[in-house]
């Protein structure tokens, strides 16, 4: 199964919810009941209130009855307009013209897939000929250190690590020093992810960021926030809090499988104006891909084929 097919499968529930509500708008004058149903369906899919309001404004500016393709095309056009703002060039291109080593500080709560995302990126960068170093900055979980170490052996990427319970800032310091000494192209730093509402986590991450900046002015060059696509509106709350505390520069949205409400991608771009670097649909290395607005909209709302 291709990556695009897996993305389509991952967005299936969202697609069915949205398409079902759009069909109610076809062939009749719009009334408040239909409008409310469509609004509720789009919000249920986590599309986001701003996007829903823009869509309903567009719909209300038209005169019914609608043809079958009209609501779909209005929504597709709107989503493409929003999501293209979230597109970026491939990370390899950003790295190649950036400073060396190019430092990624990878953040997010536990369970979103930070360590796996780092591992996939390390493999990808190595495949592109970029000398890469992992830094096991999540010293609160022994499993995180072990997991990154296993991925390092699997992908041929060196890992800077300390024992569980060590000062994460000390690990980061050693990582930056080692990266400069070994003339690395990329440094991928893992971090702890206890609940984002705990002030001590944010303080610890800020301390790590200060160490990075001190040892390499201008770094981190990418503060990559990893988010879980299954968490809906909580994803936006996390993104907002991490961004306010640490200045997020890009997002990686994982777990866009059958349990995800894919509309959250739209809400994140619309509400936070942050670029989506990557989206993931599974555990395999190739399941993490650059975000492409057209491919995403085609998977979420495919254009209907007219009857023969």
pLDDT at residue 306, rounded to an integer:
42
Give the global pTM: 0.90
pLDDT at residue 198, rounded to an integer:
58
pLDDT at residue 87, rounded to an integer:
95
User: What is the distance, to the nearest Å, from the Cα of residue 25 to the centroid of all Cα atoms in its chain?
Assistant: 32
- Judged on CB neighbours under 10 Å (0-12, 13-18, 19+), 4 is middle
pLDDT at residue 48, rounded to an integer:
81
Average pLDDT along the chain, 308 residues, taken 10 residues at a time: 77 80 71 81 82 86 65 88 94 95 95 92 95 95 91 94 93 98 98 71 93 97 92 84 94 77 81 91 82 90 60
pLDDT at residue 69, rounded to an integer:
62
pLDDT at residue 285, rounded to an integer:
75
């Amino acid at each position: 199964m291709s990556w695009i097919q897996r993305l389509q499968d991952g967005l299936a529930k969202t697609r069915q919810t949205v398409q079902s509500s759009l069909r109610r708008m076809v062939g009749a004058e719009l009334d408040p009941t239909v409008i409310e149903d469509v609004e509720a369906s789009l919000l249920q899919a986590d599309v986001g209130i701003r996007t829903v309001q823009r869509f309903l404004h567009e719909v209300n500016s038209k005169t019914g009855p609608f043809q079958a393709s009209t609501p779909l095309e209005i929504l597709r056009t709107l989503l493409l307009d929003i999501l293209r703002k979230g597109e970026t060039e491939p990370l390899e291109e950003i790295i190649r013209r950036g400073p060396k080593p190019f430092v990624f500080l990878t953040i997010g709560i536990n369970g979103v897939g930070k360590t796996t995302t780092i591992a996939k990126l390390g493999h990808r960068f190595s495949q592109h000929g970029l000398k890469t170093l992992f830094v096991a900055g999540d010293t609160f979980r022994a499993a995180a250190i072990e997991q990154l170490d296993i991925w390092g052996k699997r992908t041929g990427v060196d890992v800077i690590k300390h024992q569980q319970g060590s000062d994460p800032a000390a690990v980061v310091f050693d990582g930056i020093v080692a990266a400069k000494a070994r003339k690395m192209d990329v440094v991928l730093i893992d971090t702890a992810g206890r609940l984002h509402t705990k002030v001590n986590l944010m303080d610890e991450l800020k301390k790590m960021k200060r160490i990075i900046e001190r040892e390499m002015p201008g770094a981190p060059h990418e503060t990559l926030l990893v988010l879980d696509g299954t968490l809906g509106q909580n994803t936006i709350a996390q993104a907002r809090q991490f961004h306010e505390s640490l200045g997020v520069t890009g997002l990686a949205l994982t777990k866009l499988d059958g349990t995800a409400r894919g509309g959250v991608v739209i809400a994140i771009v619309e509400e936070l104006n942050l670029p989506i670097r990557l989206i993931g649909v599974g555990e395999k290395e190739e399941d993490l891909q650059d975000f492409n607005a057209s491919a995403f909209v085609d998977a979420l709302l495919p254009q209907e084929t007219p009857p023969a």
